[in-house]
Amino acid sequence: MANYLMLGEGDRAGARTAIGRIVRMTSSPANKLVKPVYRPDRLRAVNVHRNPVGRGRRVDAEPDQLRMLHYWGARGQQQDPGAARRIMSRTVEMTAMRDAWSRRVVDSLIVFGEHDAFSGDSGP
């Protein structure tokens, strides 16, 4: 999967989690990093970072079907007053994750007692 960045500060007062708050995405992959998806039966576990594939092939996922969303949030904006303008110029609005998943994420955090996840002092 190609690596797209989710950027911006978002509305901390209106949304409880980063997935609900950050709705700007880079319009193309942010870099050459990718996240692989493997069939577990075709891997040989060696260590945390290197696991040889026994057989198979690489297939690049089409970004309109599968992409990695890397939530950066407000990183660097606190020290750089021009950051918000630059973020707007290199991103497009993307609300699909917020609309489809934000409520489910919040509900599951509540069910599992993870109330500190909603602290306005933490997260992107």
Q: Which two tokens stand for residue 108?
A: 């599951």
**Bridge partners of residue 2, in order along the sequence:** 34
pLDDT digit string, tens, across residues 52-102: 777 777 888 998 899 999 888 776 677 777 888 888 888 999 999 999 999
Give the C-alpha separation, 51 to 121, whole Å.
37
Q: pTM here?
A: 0.73
Q: Is the pLDDT of residue 4 over 80?
A: yes
pLDDT for res 100 = 93
Q: How far apart are the first and last CA of the chain?
A: 22
Q: Where are the alpha helices (DSSP H) in the chain?
A: 18-21, 83-90, 96-111
pLDDT digit string, tens, across residues 7-56: 887 777 777 788 888 899 999 998 888 888 887 777 777 776 666 777 77
